[in-house]
Amino acid sequence: MAKNYIDFETLKYLLYDVHELESLLKEDRYKDHDKESLNLFLDSVKEFSDRELFPYVKEMDENPAHFKDGEVIVHKQVDVFMKKAGEMGLIAGPLDYEAGGLQLPIMIQTASTYIQEAANNALPGYTMLTYGSAELIIHFGNKALNETYVPKMLSGNWGGTMCLTEPQAGSSLSDLTTKATPTNDGFYKISGQKIFISGGDHQYAENIVHLVLARIEGAPAGTKGISLFVVPKNRPDGKGGLTPNDVMTVADFQKMGQRGYCTTHLGFGDTNDCQGWLVGEPHKGLNYMFLMMNGARIAVGRGAAAITMAAYQASLQYAQERAQGRKLSSDGKKNPNQEQTLIINHPDVRRMLLLQKVVAEGALSLVLLASKYFDLKESLQDPAEKEKYSLLLELIIPMVKTYPSEMGAEAVSNGVQVLGGYGFCSDFILQQYHRDIRIYSIYEGTTGIQSQDLLGRKLLMENGKALELLTAEIMESIQKAMQYDDLKKYAGKLGEKLQLAKQVIGFLVGFAKKGDYERFLSDATPFMTFFSTITQAWLWLDIATHSKQAILTGDKTHAQDFYESKIHAMRFYYKYELPKTSGQAEILMNEEVLTVAGKQEVFK
């Protein structure tokens, strides 16, 4: 039905032109890569996604992963995908050579996974969590753990998971109760329940390596008493084989979307024979997990951006093929004897498509920017520079996770609307994307949690240094844009909004200074909307500036049409999205306190 799931040209444009990947390749770590080799890599990922991912996206939704006779049954493509992805280096890609990786920049790993997720958002989760859990072992585990588990994970033979959530605790990790009892044999006995474990079990994995947060007996209360363990589904039997490790799949979760991606409820140690191996030091589990969290949050934003793009492509194609209605003539009437027009010619349909375009491309640009900061902080040598990009990354990460998830969902809903009644019908894929994307604002810390992280932690971090750095980056973009007459107006508008943001932040921080933290954070979510809308305006101005430059310098990497469409999209963003921050600022600077619980019963 839908032929395209991605705008590959725009992906490469953002990667190489706007975010200047090549400048990164000068760093020692990436010396074996150049634009040509990386493009060959991305082309192979695209070809792989065309062949092995996109054709199964609907089929996997219609035949969801499910729990049967104690086993989780997933689509057979999960097996094909994991092994081929392992072979192609798609799992290990960004790791060091010595860990079995290709030392790819995270920017390229992001682009690669983005392509896969746009093609089929149910499959890449299986490899990405495997990568994430292998990374934890590589960074913090001892040699034995590394040798035993990592190679099989990176080859796609064994899966990996992150086991955080428990039924009684939800997002509140300080309330975890899964127990680890030391033994004299180098392992701990693990017992407890974990829920919402993505990729937690299926019939094709010879083994699944769970990275489990648990509390060693006698550990302090709260988040400071949590340790990290490797708990395989099957443990080495000492004779080169595997033996069951008392990890039970209790049930699965049937879901509204991402139905091809299994979500499980696991029980550890039901018969007191579940062995776990400590990763790193006791009580530092949450620290380790959180060191990986930036990657995980980029991944969520990336997945949401990918679905947004796929939905945009599907609805764009529909609008370019479907004739319906007529254009208005100058007297406001329509002539029924005229031929019908393609719906893409109706302004309201164009508005919905352009909204999708600015969200899809803008979200992608944000995700790539975060990946770039990640690469810079990892690969640069100068400690001051490392710190700079580390702070910038920390500051934007809650937006990277949230903007694509929240605005992506709105964009996809516009995609459904473009198709009218067909958008609601199972024969068309838009309704699936609408269901699939809904999880992203919940994954890995809900929007509410991200928003509190942004306002309550990141803005104030190191006396506001991260915010100063970001402001400087934005000012630099404004300066550049100011050089072009066509862009001056927009650059000026962004400058105004930056001032407005300062004012809003000052107002809100006032509550923190008075010790009223609950009030300070009570509007964190509207603040997230406000601040990420401005951040996106910055990214769009930057895209437009690059495009303008390319037109003026006669750069033929892309067609003139292509560059002009980017400038048009920026203008659309500045007309239809950025002004929303005016109302948002009013909301945020309103003195009334209406959502802090008090004596009054407000839910009558």
Site for its own copies in 212-241 (CB under 8 A): 221-223
Which residues 463-522 are close enough to bind its own copies by CB under 8 A?
Answer: 512, 515-518, 520-522
**Which has the closest alpha carbon to 124: 90, 161, 162?**
90
Structure tokens at 336: 């029924």
Q: Closest approach of Cβ 176 to its own copies, in Å?
A: 11
C-beta separation of 87 from 45 below 8 A = no
Applying the rule CB under 8 A, the residues between 140 and 179 that interact with its own copies are 165, 169-172, 174-175
| Amino acid (1-letter code) at residue 596 | V
Residue number, 40 or 587, with CB nearest to its own copies: 587
Q: By rule CB under 8 A, what count of residues binds its own copies?
A: 110
Instruction: Name the segment binding its own copies (CB under 8 A); options: 37-45, 466-474, 497-505, 572-580.
Output: 572-580
Instruction: Rank residues 186 and 583 by Cβ distance to its own copies and give the closer one.
Output: 583
Q: What is the 3-class SS of 585-598, one letter each residue?
A: HHHHCCCCCCCCCC
Exposed, middle or buried, 244 (CB in 10 Å: 0-12/13-18/19+)? middle
Q: Which of residues 350-389 bind its own copies (CB under 8 A)?
A: 350-351, 353-354, 357
Q: Report the residue from 435, 469, 471, 480 that binds its own copies according to the rule CB under 8 A.
A: 435
Q: How far apart are CA 169 and CA 504, in angstroms?
A: 33
Alpha carbons 141 and 133: distance in angstroms, whole number = 11
Residue 490 C-beta: closest distance to its own copies, Å: 11
**Segment 293 to 332, residues that bind its own copies, using CB under 8 A:** 316, 320, 322, 324-332
Per-residue binding string, its own copies, 254-293, x by CB under 8 A, is xxxx------------------------------------
CB of 518 to its own copies, least distance (A): 5
Query: Contacting its own copies (CB under 8 A), which of 121, 227, 365, 441?
Result: 441
* 40 makes contact with its own copies (CB under 8 A): no
What amino acid occupies position 209?
V
4 lines the binding site for its own copies (CB under 8 A): no
Q: Per CB under 8 A, does 557 bind its own copies?
A: no
Q: Binding of its own copies at residue 36 (CB under 8 A)?
A: no
Distance between CA atoms of residues 333 and 263, nearest Å: 54
* Separation CA 411–CA 519 (nearest Å): 31
Of the candidate residues 297, 346, 377, 546, the single one contacting its own copies (CB under 8 A)? 346
CA-CA-CA-CA torsion sign (396, 402, 405, 409): negative
Rule CB under 8 A: choose which of 349, 397, 411, 534 binds its own copies.
349
Q: How far is the CB of 15 from its own copies (least distance, A)?
A: 17
Q: Which residues sit opposite 263 in a β-bridge?
A: 198
Residue 562 in the binding site for its own copies (CB under 8 A): yes
Closest C-alpha to 456, from 536, 531, 535: 531
Strands 263-268 and 275-278, sheet pairing: unpaired
Closest approach, Cβ 344 to its own copies, in A, equals: 7
Given 131, 196, 403, 531, the residue binding its own copies (CB under 8 A): 196
Task: Write down the residue that tokens 């300062």 correspond to.
Answer: 502
Q: Which of 238, 240, 241, 347 is in the footprint of its own copies by CB under 8 A? A: 347
Torsion of CA 113, 118, 121, 124, to 10 degrees: -20
- Which residue type does 533 have? T
